Amino acid sequence: MFQKFLTGKTAVITGSNSGIGLGVAEELARAGADVVLNSFTDRDEDHALAEKLGKEHGVTARYIKADMSKGDECRALIEQAGACDILVNNAGIQHVAPVDEFPTEKWDAIIAINLNSAFHTTAAALPLMRAAGWGRVINVASAHGLTASPYKSAYVAAKHGVVGLTKVTALETAEEPITANAICPGYVLTPLVEAQIPDTMKKYNMDRDEVVRNVMLARQPSKEFATVQQLGGTAVFLCSAAADQITGTTISVDGGWTAL
């Protein structure tokens, strides 16, 4: 879809050794960007994944361990990357429980990883973008950054916060060649979601198609999952010249969820 117009740019993608983050990294690398993958582990397979990605797309790819629940490690990730023309804040976790039963430690962890990390990485990356004369901040929010569901108080609060942070970042950089936007996915077919389908089939005594359509995608009018490639393509578009005047907004990739 896009030629290698990002050659010479460096993209840092948090939470990117699987799922959405890896899909975004793949598409940015396909467009020519050097990429920095990240998660909280430091396994041989993490570094091998980066090496494989780099070879496949002819770019430099590295893996840097950093715990996104810790502000100092978030900032150190950007420092160790050495350059950050494109920042994709993707790291996130989830927990489901009623407000009055929501474990405090789960609330704190979700806010730290899903919201606070985006603040710390953005604060560290903006000076590098300004020095380079160009930058893109892309925050992976959620349909839950625009609407709500019961039992997801921390996640909804964090994702709404990410959308707000995106707007503030955009306003503070509005007269510079830097943009900040949030991608708001609905349900995305990741390995984690795929792994949940068999148990859900047993729970509801349904076949796979029924579970996907009537349970997992009950709120997604298209009745189709978004794909990590689609989210990656959206990120690549936001890095293109066509998106130079798109800033401070949300782009929903949710099959019509937020149109309801």
Give the CATH number of the domain where residue 182 resides. Answer: 3.40.50.720
CA torsion, ordered 51, 125, 228, 19, to nearest 10 deg: 60
**What's the rounded mean pLDDT across residues 60-69?**
98
Q: Are residues 218 and 152 in the same domain?
A: no
The tokens for 41 are: 């582990």
Q: Are residues 27 and 135 in the same domain?
A: yes
Question: Percent of the chain scored above 90 by pLDDT?
Answer: 97
Instruction: Confirm whether 114 is domain-assigned.
Output: yes
What confidence score (pLDDT) does residue 3 get? 81
Model confidence at 2: pLDDT above 80: no
β-strands 135-140, 10-13 pairing: unpaired
Q: What is the pLDDT of residues 167-187, one digit of tens each?
A: 999 999 999 999 999 999 999
Q: Are residues 100 and 154 in the same domain?
A: yes
Model confidence at 1: pLDDT above 60: no
The DSSP result for 91-103, as a single string, is ------B-GGG--
What confidence score (pLDDT) does residue 192 get? 84
Model confidence at 252: pLDDT above 80: yes
Q: Are residues 132 and 180 in the same domain?
A: yes
Domain that holds residue 213: 189-223
Number of domains in the chain: 2
Catalytic residue among 63, 155, 187, 204: 155
Q: Are residues 55 and 173 in the same domain?
A: yes
* Mean pLDDT across the chain: 97
**What's the rounded mean pLDDT across residues 192-201?**
91
Q: Are residues 214 and 233 in the same domain?
A: no
Model confidence at 135: pLDDT above 60: yes
Evaluated on CA atoms 94, 13, 112, 186, the torsion sign reads negative
| Catalytic residue status for 155 | yes
What confidence score (pLDDT) does residue 60 get? 98
